Structure 1
Amino acid sequence: MKDKVLTLKQVAEYLQLAEKTAYRLAAEKKLPGFKVGGSWRFKRHDLEEWIEQQKQQGRK
């Protein structure tokens, strides 16, 4: 599998956030994720692109 899919818990660890914060950001569509059977999932590639976008916005 080329593009790894992460759980909410894994994303929280990856971004060094509390799980509640990661959940809130996903629910507010501020994190690029999708639901599978009611559980949030995230593609690592999408998260990496999101991080780069956040870095670019911080430079403006």
Structure 2
Amino acid sequence: MAEMEDRWLSVDEIGKYLGVSSDTVYRWIDKHAMPAHRMGRLWKFKKDEVDEWVKAGGAADRNKKGSDE
């Protein structure tokens, strides 16, 4: 059963887990180096990697003011 807890999550699943849209997940992958792994055309996530990224402030909008992006 432990291996099912550590399974790869889809964009929709990780978005639901974090309470954000899939568009936000794709933006975080592109602009904020969200930990994601490309498998063919799909992005997959490990929940523990995403948890660490969030705790480290990975999703924080650090460049809101004065951003050229």
Identify unmatched segments of 5+ residues in structure 1: none
RMSD: 2.1
Aligned length, in residue pairs:
56
User: Percent identity of the aligned residues?
Assistant: 25
Q: What TM-score, normalized to structure 2?
A: 0.67
The structure number with the bigger radius of gyration is: 2
Q: Which has the higher contact order (CA 8 A, sep 6+)?
A: 1
What corresponds to 1:30 in structure 2?
33
Structure 2 unaligned spans of 5+? 61-69
The TM-score, its normalising length taken from structure 1, stands at 0.75
Tell me whether 1:51 sits opposite 2:28 in the alignment.
no
Question: After TM superposition, where is structure 1 displaced by more than 3 Å over at least 4 residues in a row?
Answer: none
Structure 2: which amino acid aligns with 1:33?
A
